[in-house]
Amino acid sequence: MNKQQTKVIAIMLAVALAIAALVLVRGRAPAPDEHAAESTQEEHVGESEDHGVIRFSDAQVQAAGIALIDAGPMQMETFLRMPGQIALNEDRTAHVTPRAAGAVESVPANLGDRVRKGDVLAVIASADVAAQRGALAAAERRLAYARKLHALEKTLWEEQVSARQDFLKAEQELHEAEIALQGARQQLQALGTGGGGSSNRLQIRAPFDGIIVEKHIALGEVVGADTRVFTLTDLSTVWADVVVPAKDLGIVRVGTDAVIRSIASETSAPGKVSFVSSLVGEASRSATARVVLANPGAAWRPGLAVNVDVVTGSSQAAVAVPREAIQTHDGRQVVYRRVKEGFAAQPVATGRSDGRFVEITSGLRAGERVAAAGSFAIKAEQGKGEADHH
């Protein structure tokens, strides 16, 4: 081997050693993706060790509509829940009839109109009204004639020109004419009109303030004296009719407090039992009770299905929260307790409920602040955070 071959071999060995060293250095250096993965893992570990806090700033609490309340003692009512239905107050409902047959000439009132007492609902042309007005006019003329005759006979009797018997007869005829006039006026008043004249028009008027809930009259049709042309009701109060099983009739009594709760919404209102039926249905084996309910704004609509909670007693709960504060997470009941960084899910055990508040028997102390209305937004945020973590 000459010197030139030895030199080439030495160069090749040097290059091989350099390449081996470079590969070794690269194998020991962590890849950029690995650094990122380690950093992300450390961040998640930091979140998982944050004591389960669902982060919510004050601004986020306000924007989400979350109401905060302090858990505390509450007078809890025990009740018996029964099904019911909102109905018209029949004491303030009128089925309006014309009182006389006739043809409809105008109908200024429409279904759903709010009317005042005395407002004209419809006008009909009636032969009966025309006949009664004619009878009234005849009675008025007869009375006028009887008065003149009575005055004349009185003068003749006082001047001893005629006999006393003629004067007494004139006086009797005067009394009869007055009675006939009074009867004609009363007949017109019974038809809902009064006064003289020759008009055959009959105005159908509202008997009290209310809302027209039914209308069975149209322009041009002929209606009878007893036709129900309008149903008018005063919705300032309504009835809640309650189905009471026979076994509970000893509990539901007149004067008992009750709470009406709408099935379709969260609306509720207090009331008192005003009537309990003395009869039990043979098929249903239940009786009917009634709660008179104030109805401002006509929020309680007749026909609406409701639950009626009849109060049977009350007792004190040491710690209670609104019903909407209770949520379910991982199969456990929790409330979201307010902490500095946001909210913490606090497992609790619950006891009695009056439909609005729930007793907390363990897991929460009086005075602790929790989320009530809007707490579902916190539960949703908690679920989203756990999904991101996984």
102 and 66: one domain? no
303 and 195: one domain? no
Which one of 232, 266, 292 terminates a domain? 232
> Cβ–Cβ contacts within 10 Å for residue 19, how many?
10
The CATH number of whichever domain residue 113 belongs to comes to 2.40.50.100
- For residue 19, tell me if it sits in a domain: no
Q: According to the model, what pLDDT value does residue 114 have?
A: 94
3-state secondary structure of 129: helix
pTM (global) more than 0.85: no
- For residue 9, tell me if it sits in a domain: no
- pLDDT tens across 223-249, in order? 999 999 999 999 999 999 999 998 888
Number of domains the chain is built from? 3
341 and 376: one domain? yes
**CA nearest neighbour of 351 among 37, 154, 78:** 78
Listed in sequence order, the residues at least 6 apart from 346 whose beta carbon sits closer than 8 Å to its beta carbon are 334, 335, 336, 337, 363, 364, 370
The CATH number of whichever domain residue 65 belongs to comes to 2.40.420.20
161 and 266: one domain? no
247 and 139: one domain? no
- For residue 47, tell me if it sits in a domain: no
102 and 228: one domain? yes
pLDDT band with cut points at 50, 70 and 90 for residue 1:
low
268 and 209: one domain? no
241 and 330: one domain? no
Q: Which of 61-75, 243-257, 371-385 has the lowest mean pLDDT?
A: 371-385
pLDDT band with cut points at 50, 70 and 90 for residue 304:
very high
284: containing domain: 79-91+234-314
3-state secondary structure of 115: strand
Tell me what the pLDDT averaged over the chain comes to.
82
238 and 260: one domain? yes
- pLDDT tens across 40-89, in order? 333 332 333 344 788 888 888 888 888 888 888 988 777 788 899 999 99
